Amino acid sequence: MAEIQLKSLAHCYDKQADEPLYAIREMNHVWQKGGAYALLGPSGCGKSTLLNIISGLLEPSDGEVLFDGVRVNDIPPQERNIAQVFQFPVVYDTMTVFDNLAFPLRNMGASKAKVQSKVGEIAEILDLTAVLNKKAANLSADEKQKVSMGRGLVRDDVSAILFDEPLTVIDPHLKWKLRRKLKQIHEQFNITMVYVTHDQLEASTFADKIAVMYNGQVVQFGTPRELFEQPNHTFVGYFIGSPGMNLMEVERCEQGVCFGPQQIALSPVEMAAVNASQSNNLKVGIRPEFVHVWDKPNGDAYQAEVLFVEDLGTYKILSLKLGEQVIKARLQEDQRVPQQHAYISFPEQWLMLYIDEYLVAKEDNHD
Amino acid sequence: MIKPYTNKAWYLVLPVFALVAFSAIIPLMTVVNYSIQDIFDANTRYFVGTEWYREILNDTRLHDSLVRQFIFSGSVLLIEIPLGILVALMMPARGPGSVVCLLVLALPLLVPLNVVGTIWQIFGRADIGLFGWALNSLGINYNYAANPMDAWFTVLLMDVWHWTSLVALLCYSGLRAIPDAYYQAARIDRASNWAVFRFIQLPKLKNVLLIGVLLRFMDSFMIYTEPFVLTGGGPGNSTTFLSQTLTKMAVGQFDIGPAGAFSIIYFLIILLVSWLFYTAMTHNDGK
């Protein structure tokens, strides 16, 4: 069990370049002991780079990696007490499953009895007992991935397991099973687990807390619910949820912000933030799930033009045109689909204000 | 739509069949034809059955060169395969160094066979050849034209110089195809360098090594030009391999019948040994 701390960490693959391009921009982050975390982000956002820095396969160009407060920058991966599971299952083809699982133990010089008992125990947990004597080359992809996971679990000294999109090559119906297995292992061993993925569903089913990475930085670290309800960055709003958050560019006006003729009221704290900021990059965002849709005029609801409806089985997504802006709204199964015109309103509590892409809190939070 | 089934597809195979027939089957059958007849001229020939085969199988010249041939091919494989792997392992994976290495390795493969023979014939001479002169200056009495051991040594060295590159290039391409994740997983598993080689690199190289072993076996078993130019099969018969014995028989003495039988046996030996190598190296697949 270990706490992993990243201190002013940054990484650039080619520092000698005229304009160094940073794959990881300076960040501070802590992965608590024994937590199950996901690192979520689009391809190329730096999440694999970050994982390789934690495991020690890559040395960061700036900053520090601390395990339980001890700097490990200069410690090679084999001495870091971590295990890593890669995108494509890595097994030693010519060995049997037993030898594969025993390999890390034998490399450490463990006794024969210890190897026997430990491999037996892990094989039991991973449902590999039946194939222990099979050549690893002849396993199916999900069995191979379990073997590569097992090689991390057999070692007593492993305090963190890092997963780099481990379910990429697994059949969809087995993904679910393997994900549950992971969860189960986490509960049983209480090992710190960091799981890299670009799939929000995978991230939210596996992890207690998700770090969303964008452009080489963690833009939000929170529970799946926090990411959904309070996206800290426009990217989180857009990336999490299906479809993503509606984001509208707005301008300053008397009582708050406006887009076109529509005015949006702001809370006093938000108003103060808008007035204090010099930036003209103002956006408001609302999740399609929170947009209210009526088919008749209703109070202060805006009239919008219905563009089209996508039926996704259990629910429908309505695309509407409000001024120049396209807004998506999620309709419930039994809700009537408005024709031509619809009236929409944005509940204040779900309307988020972003200045320079970052969320402005509705009220002062002093805690 | 219902498509009628016809056998017209066979016509499409005909050109290939004709090509293969002219390039392989007909010439081979001609040899079979020679091997079972005694031919004097266009109108005089006698069917002799297996007589030539029996004669050839009891021919001590053939026995001697067959033994020499196996020793030669065995040595070639034992030296070139491990050496090729070693060279490939030591080559830089990327950067300008790798390009230079690839170019240098490719060079020997581009030299025509008789030129290779000529190069080593001169290179090994004690009077004007750098290699022969250097050895003799060091006090080693080296003369490939007079001493059978020296002749063998030179022929082997020549083959290693000429063909190790091929094995090295094959292995190099095989090594580059191994994903980085394997090496990274091995590091995390605390594998030693030897274990990385034994359990990752060697198994992943199996397919290219199979090609390498088969090519090197077949080529070395059929070797003709290089020893012919270098030693002419001498001193005595010490470096006379199968193909040279066969050529002497067919072209020198014009014994077409026995030479035909010899060719068939020669061909079958290569086929058999190649099959053995192939089976031995692949019998574990899929189990």
Mean pLDDT of A147-173: 84
More confident residue, A7 or A366: A7
Give the pLDDT score at A364. 67
Q: How far is A312 from chain B (nearest CA, A)?
A: 36
A157 touches chain B (CB under 8 A): no
For the stretch B9-25, pLDDT in tens is: 888 889 998 998 888 88
Give the pLDDT score at B39. 78
Give the pLDDT score at A244. 86
Do B270 and B262 contact (CB within 8 A), yes or no? no
Residue A367 has pLDDT above 50, yes or no: no
Please confirm whether the linkage preceding A224 is cis (ω < 30° from 0).
no
Neighbours of A71 (CB within 10 A): 12
| Chain B residues interacting with chain A (CB cutoff of 8 angstroms) | 179, 181-182, 184-185, 187-192, 195, 199-200, 203-204, 284, 286-287
Q: Find, in chain B, the residue whose alpha carbon is nearest to that of A135.
A: B287
Query: How far apart (Å, rounded) are the C-alpha atoms in residues A310 and B211?
Result: 56
CA-closest candidate to residue A249, choices A320, A307, A327, A305: A327
For the stretch B150-177, pLDDT in tens is: 888 889 999 999 999 999 999 999 999 9
For the stretch B237-255, pLDDT in tens is: 888 888 888 888 888 887 8
Give the pLDDT score at B169. 94
Give the pLDDT score at B285. 64
Average pLDDT, chain A: 83
More confident residue, B91 or B52: B91
Query: How far apart (Å, rounded) are the C-alpha atoms in residues A250 and A266?
Result: 12
CA-closest candidate to residue B204, choices B186, B225, B231, B229: B186
Mean pLDDT of A104-133: 87
Q: Which of A83, A87, A92 sits opposite B200 (nearest CB)?
A: A92
B286 falls in which pLDDT band (50, 70, 90)? low
B1 falls in which pLDDT band (50, 70, 90)? low
Burial status of residue A301 (CB atoms within 10 A of its CB: 0-12, 13-18, 19 or more): middle
Mean pLDDT of A141-157: 86
Percent of chain A residues past pLDDT 70, beyond the cut? 98
Do A154 and A119 contact (CB within 8 A), yes or no? yes
For the stretch A71-87, pLDDT in tens is: 888 888 888 888 888 88
* CATH numbers and ranges of domains, chain A: 4-234 (3.40.50.300), 245-360 (2.40.50.140)
Q: How far is B194 from chain A (nearest CA, A)?
A: 11
* CATH numbers and ranges of domains, chain B: 66-176+200-241 (1.10.3720.10)
Residues of A in contact with B204 (CB under 8 A): 93
ipTM score assigned to the predicted complex: 0.76
Please give the full DSSP string across chain B, using - where no structure is assigned. Answer: -PPPP-STHHHHHHHHHHHHIIIIIHHHHHHHHHHTEEEEETTEEEE-TTHHHHHHHT-HHHHHHHHHHHHHHHHHHHHHHHHHHHHHHHS-SSSHHHHHHHHHHHHHHHS-HHHHHHHHHHHT-TTT-HHHHHHHHTT----TTT-HHHHHHHHHHHHHHHHHHHHHHHHHHHHHTS-HHHHHHHHHTT--HHHHIIIIIHHHHHHHHHHHHHHHHHHHHT--HHHHHHTTT-STTTT--HHHHHHIIIIIS--HHHHHHHHHHHHHHHHHHHHHHHHHHHTTTT-
A104 touches chain B (CB under 8 A): yes
With CB atoms and an 8 Å threshold, state whether A92 touches B199: yes
Q: How far is A103 from chain B (nearest CA, A)?
A: 7
Query: How far apart (Å, rounded) are the C-alpha atoms in residues B163 and B221?
Result: 13
Do A151 and A104 contact (CB within 8 A), yes or no? yes
Q: How far is B247 from chain A (nearest CA, A)?
A: 45
